[in-house]
Amino acid sequence: MLERQAGKLQELLLQREIEQFLFEEAALIDERRFKEWLDLLTEDIRVYVPIVRNVRHDQAELERTAEFRDTCWVDEGKETLRQRVQQIATGLHWAEEPRSRTSHLLTNIRLAAISPDLSDPQEVQVRLNFMLYRNHGQVETDFLVGKRFDRVRKVDGAWKVARREVHLDQSVLLAKNLTSFF
């Protein structure tokens, strides 16, 4: 029984550690500390946002565009993310001048898989719900809502995001652009 309780405690501590990591990552984006945010991403990071389609109930597998096959909203690696951060920093990025104000709200954070195991977690699959609020200029307001499927990996003893798949709940995006980071 003690062993089972110790395992549960380990799991709770890991849950809290991952939650705090994700909250801090979101805060860096919202505070526009993009260079520091980039340091929380692995070199092989992939951010993927498929397009949502309205389909019949018996065609659920077609609801989102397929990775590596169909068009998507976002498909970026570390170099593209670096370039976007550099472009925003110039002040010449038309979609981010004036700068957007964002708030990331993260909830329902769940650890879906831990590898190799709980005693030595090196990679964790995380599922969560999010809302990204963006205000730009005086009247532009966007709400992006959905689910995230993150993979976080320990690199040199620190957690980093290795993959982020974002499932938006909207099938039509009313935002003028997708310059915000998820």
Q: What is the CATH number of the domain that holds 157?
A: 3.10.450.50
Q: Is residue 175 a part of any domain in this protein?
A: no
Of the pLDDT bands very low, low, confident and very high (cuts 50, 70, 90), residue 129 is very high
Query: What residues contact residue 78 under an 8 Å CB cut-off, 6+ apart?
Result: 38, 41, 42, 43, 44, 45
* pLDDT at residue number 171: 86
Whether 160 is in a domain gets the answer yes
Q: Which has more pLDDT, 60 or 143?
A: 143
Plot region of 157 (φ>0 → left; ψ -120 to 50 → alpha; else → beta): left
Query: Would residue 14 count as lying in a domain?
Result: yes
Asked, for residue 176, whether it belongs to a domain, the answer is no
116 burial level (CB within 10 Å; 0-12, 13-18, 19+): exposed
Domain of 74 in residue numbering reads as 2-168
Closest CA to 174 of 137, 145, 152: 145
Q: Is 80 exceeded by the pLDDT of residue 5?
A: no
CA dihedral (114, 106, 44, 16) in degrees, to 10, reads -40
Is 16's pLDDT higher than 80? yes
Domain assignment of residue 130, yes or no: yes
Average pLDDT, the chain: 91
58 is a domain residue: yes
Q: Is 177 inside a domain boundary?
A: no
If one counts the domains in the chain, the total is 1
Mean pLDDT of 158-181: 90
In a domain, 174, yes or no: no
Q: Is the pLDDT of residue 1 over 70?
A: no
> Is the pLDDT reported for residue 25 higher than 90?
yes
The H-or-E segment that residue 159 falls in is strand 158-168
Report, as an integer, the average pLDDT of 103-113: 97
- Stronger pLDDT, 163 or 88, i.e. the higher one: 163
CA distance 37 to 32: 9
Which helix or strand (DSSP H or E) is residue 101 part of?
Answer: strand 101-115
